[in-house]
Structure 1
Amino acid sequence: MKVLQIIVLLIICLTQRVELLIPPKFQWKTIDFAWNGDLKNVAMASGGYIPENIMPTGLARWKNKLFIAIPRWKKGVPSSLNYVYLNGSQSEPLLPYPSWKDAFILDDAETINSNATVVSAFRMHVDKCDRLWVVDNGVADMSTDVKQIAEPAVVVFDLNRDSVVRRYEMTGEVLRDSSVLTSVVVDFVGKSCDCGEAYAYITDMGSNALIVYSFKDDDAWRVENHYFHFDPHAGVYKVGGIDFYGSDGVSSAALSQVKSDGYRDLYLHPTSSTKQFKMSTKLLRHKDAPEEEIFNGVLVVGEKGPFSQASACDFDPKNNVLFFTQVCKNAIGCWNIDKPFTPQNTPTVVRDCTLLEFPNDVKVDKEGNLWILSDRQARFLHGHLDPAQVNFRVLTAPVTKLIQGTACERSSLVTRAWSALSSRRNSAKAK
């Protein structure tokens, strides 16, 4: 069986659609920073900077900046939240955000420097109000000697002013000892863009839950469902020549456009799963929603198929397309939500076993470009990275180019109307 899996994955790599890939926008063998003065030497001498221990996991674009998150998996990460300018060189050193003074802390720190300090973040989200939302786990050296430097928190930045709008520290009511906060996506009430009427949906991969944060009420609550847990049958991975077993729960989520009832669908999935789920934000925004409604509120959208475990997803509202990583295939898949969720309608749009080895994050920006971060995470956590090779890459291309000629290409108005009618008929039969 193992030999068959290797053969299948090899065939996948040999049938790449590399013609769609453009040269990486950014790439690094190891991550370096735009240091101030003698800070680099001080950091290396104190163990505050260990290049081989740094691996980026998340990205988000805002105007001329690309934000890059680096969790403190191991010792020696000087800054977790960083950015580069889009017009920079291909191996541009990272700039800590919002400043070195806020971002730089040592692993043995007792407290954070300011409310703007992000200790350890995996991913982030840029909302319609030019705000950057980051979920800080607050811990250092996650792989061995875990140290809690700060309470886990939602940190919201005003990108136009490079200042903190809000830092909300989470409590034991919404967290568990095993909590690992990975992704955040932001929702607004109705079709408006009232910056105060925002909800953040945060995935807790470690304790299999969603955490909902109301910006208006400055309050958070926990949502649990059995579908947020990993699937034991989807826990086997083989990436970059590394075999490992993963039991990660719900790790990423993306929002659809506003539906006729004024709410959106939250599309979500555990990393160790090959199924796609969704849940109405009507339930999520209701802090005291009955347990029975929550239990029945998560729907199975469909099955993505073998080797389709996904670490991240994002939604393109212009084309109604959900993009998701496929770490075992070193690829990005997609699904046009106007169509049934079937293997034929969830094709791979880009695949490359070198450039996309372990695609960890994917984002769609406001201009309709898809951004992909690959980081060889399997080698980093279960083997070792070769500092003589390029290990981390950021690639980007227009969504319309990537989905052209595929099942994810936007349907005609007639096709969408027919699909909606068929869906209503099927729902009526089910009742």
Structure 2
Amino acid sequence: MKTIFLAVFICLFQNSSCFLPPKFQWKVIDFTWANQSRKAAIDSGLYVAENNMPTGLARRREKVFVTIPRWKRGVPSSLNYIYVNGSQQQPLNPYPSWADAVLSDKDGGISSNSTVVSTFRVHADRCDRLWVVDNGVTDMSMDVKQVADPAIVIFDLNTDKLLHRYIMGHDVLRESSVLTSIVVDIGKNCSDAFAYIPDMGSNAIIVYSLRTNEAWRVDHHYFHFDPHAGTYKVGGVHFYWSDGVSSVALSQTRKDGYRDLYFHPTSSTKQFKMSTKLLKNKNVPSEDIFNGVAVVGDRGANSQATACDFDHQSKILFYTQLCKNGVGCWNTEKLFTAENNPVIISDCNLLEFPNDVKVDQEGNIWILSNRQSRFLYESMDFDQVNFRILTAPVSAVVQGTPCERTTVFGKALSFVKRNKSGSKQSLTN
């Protein structure tokens, strides 16, 4: 830990935009072919190395979970893991097993209820469970095939066994639905859990109650993209996206017993929030939902973000910065201003297309970059390193930045400024 802190300090002192060397990196993604024949997988088309692009991660104890959506043919396993203390270029292990990961030979469907067809991002909760939202589709960038119903899949991380698979119905999904991430809100006990799932494709948030085993859909016009923020340039590739909300994050529990759900459409520069009190009640009036979403602020030009996560210890919201090849942050105890939303980590090579960011329960930030714009719209050079996972302690990364923890005096000053800002807004309304 001392070595990591020293390396981060030296890096920040010399160049505020640099970062630690990658914890893991790959030119191409490969797998542990224990009882599988790698050559047979290649010959049959089960494995096409250049079609495997990781998009999400989550760390829990000795494992780092890595997801690979089935964008194209030749992805043998969508949900995988590597070992925290393993080699930098270690192959991926299908989770929970090879037998579950590979699609059925008979009809191309799922091999078991533990099979995850295609997932973008996952969530590891404090009850040692891994939550996965499975879109159930293959060949997403070409000829989309729905091989299984979209589902929420929950694993016990102590036993690596399936706990539950919930099939989502047509009442919460739409034809354009694309489910990109999941975050879990745990109440008084592990059974008192709600999952919030952004539907990026049809502009909604799906809420799932583990206790009642039911889901419902929440719509709001703030879930839609901003047409003024749909243009991107990443890795020299220009493209246009009309993506809605692709990631959400939960604040600490407030005095009223609920949390704030922070969200932003991918193609937007604005930050929003709403109380989970509105989300947990499936019968809440639509006008309450409409009036219950607050605009936190605007991050500024070219600040579109795919993913976000909240560090409950420091109360910092982290988010990826696609067009800036980095990660930004906001200390939620401070005003939401451009100055308080710095890009704290940036590197055009190491962090080209930062696609996911997570904070683990030990206070470390994890970042995955994958050159996705090249993968989807141009071509990849597989003689170069394309996929990276970087990590460092949160406290070291934010040291000396506006996201660093505020003093008691700073909190009081921020409170006064926030109240003055609110008074001005009320006078102008």
Which runs of structure 2 are paired with 1:26-425 in the superposition (5 Å)? 26-105=24-103, 109-189=107-187, 192=188, 194-420=189-415, 422-423=417-418
Q: Does the 8 Å contact 1:71/1:120 carry over to 2?
A: yes
Shift of 1:416: 2.0
Give me the whole-angstrom Cα distance separating, in 2, the residues matched to 1:180 and 1:106: 23
CA displacement, residues 11-62 of structure 1 (integer Å, 9 cap, x when unaligned): xxxx96344x111000000000001245212211111110111100000000
Cα drift, residue 188 of structure 1: 1.7
- Describe the SS at the equivalent of 1:181: coil
The alpha-carbon distance between structure 1 residues 264 and 231, as it changes in their structure 2 partners (threshold 3 A), is same
Distance 1:232 1:413, change over 3 A: same
Deviations 1:207-251 (A, max 9, x none): 110000000000000001001011100000000010000111010
Distance change (3 Å), C-alpha of 1:38 and 1:423: closer
Report the 3-state secondary structure (helix = DSSP H, G, I; strand = E; otherwise coil) of the residue aligned with 2:38.
helix
Secondary structure, in 3 states, of the residue corresponding to 1:402?
A: helix
Deviation at 1:427, TM superposition (A): 4.9
Normalised TM-score (structure 1): 0.93
How far residue 414 of structure 1 moved from its aligned partner, in angstroms, is: 3.3
Structure 2 residue runs without a partner (length 5+) = 1-13
Query: TM-score, normalization: structure 2?
Result: 0.93
Q: Is the 8 A contact 1:16 1:350 kept in 2?
A: no
Aligned residue for 2:228, secondary structure, equals helix
Corresponding letter in the other structure for 1:139: V
Question: Matches of 1:95 and 1:109 in 2, distance apart?
Answer: 24
Q: Is the 1:76–1:107 Cα contact (8 Å) retained in structure 2?
A: no
Alpha-carbon distance in 1 for matches of 2:74, 2:281: 41
Q: Aligned to 1:183, what secondary structure does the other structure show? A: coil
Q: Is the 8 A contact 1:136 1:154 kept in 2?
A: yes
Match of 2:7 in 1: none
**Structure 1 stretch 109-118 or stretch 165-174: which is displaced more?**
109-118
- Cα deviation for residue 418 of structure 1 reads 4.3
Quote the offset at 1:298 in angstroms.
Answer: 1.2
Contact 1:103 1:117 in 2 (8 A): yes
Q: Secondary structure at the match of 1:345?
A: coil
Contact 1:310 1:326 in 2 (8 A): yes
Summarize the Cα distance change of 1:311–1:16 in structure 2 as closer, same or farther, 3 Å threshold.
Answer: farther
- Which amino acid is the alignment partner of residue 389 of structure 2? V
Structure 1 Cα separation of the partners of residues 38 and 415 of structure 2:
58
Residue by residue over 1:268-310, the C-alpha shift from the partner in whole angstroms, topping out at 9 and shown as x without a partner, is 0111001001010000001011111111111110001111000
Contact 1:29 1:389 in 2 (8 A): yes
The change in CA–CA distance for 1:56 and 1:420 in structure 2 (over 3 A counts) is: same
Does the CA-based 8 Å contact 2:128-2:156 persist in structure 1? yes
1:381-428 Cα deviation digits (max 9, x unpaired): 011111101000000011011110110001012322443455456557
- SS of residue in 2 equivalent to 1:407: coil
The list of structure 1 runs, each at least 4 consecutive aligned residues, that deviate by more than 6 angstroms after superposition, is none
> What's the offset of the Cα at 1:376?
0.1
Q: What is the rounded CA distance, in whole Å, between the counterparts of 1:360 and 1:145 in structure 2?
A: 23
Deviation sequence 1:129-187 (CA, Å, 0-9, x none): 01000000000001111111110000010000101111000000000000000010000
* Residues 205, 248 of structure 1: 8 Å contact kept: yes
RMSD: 1.6
SS of the equivalent of 1:17 reads coil
Amino acid at match of 1:263: Y
What residue identity is the alignment partner of 1:252? S
Distance 1:107 1:385, change over 3 A: farther
Are the equivalent residues in 1 in contact too, given 2:104–2:110 (CA < 8 A)?
no
C-alpha contact (below 8 Å) 1:17/1:352 kept by paired residues? no
Task: Give, in whole Å, the separation in 1 of the partners of 2:97 and 2:23.
Answer: 24
Secondary structure of the 2:320 match is strand
The one-letter code of the counterpart of 1:53 is: N
Alpha-carbon spacing, 1:416–1:85, altered in 2? closer, same or farther (3 Å): same
Q: Distance in 1 between matches of 2:15 and 2:44?
A: 44
For 2:143 and 2:36, the matched residues in 1 are separated by: 28
CA distance in 2, matches of 1:294, 1:37: 51
- Aligned AA for 1:119? V
In the alignment, what sits opposite 2:10?
none
Q: What amino acid maps onto 1:169 in structure 2?
A: I
Identity of matched residues, % = 62
Say if 2:17 and 2:344, in contact at 8 Å, map to a contact too: no
Which consecutive unaligned segments of at least 5 residues does structure 1 have?
Answer: 1-14
Q: Which amino acid aligns with 1:160?
A: N
Whole-Å separation in 2 of the counterparts to 1:167 and 1:287: 21
Give 3-state SS (helix, strand or coil) of 1:227's partner.
helix
**1:236–1:246 CA contact under 8 A, matched in 2:** yes
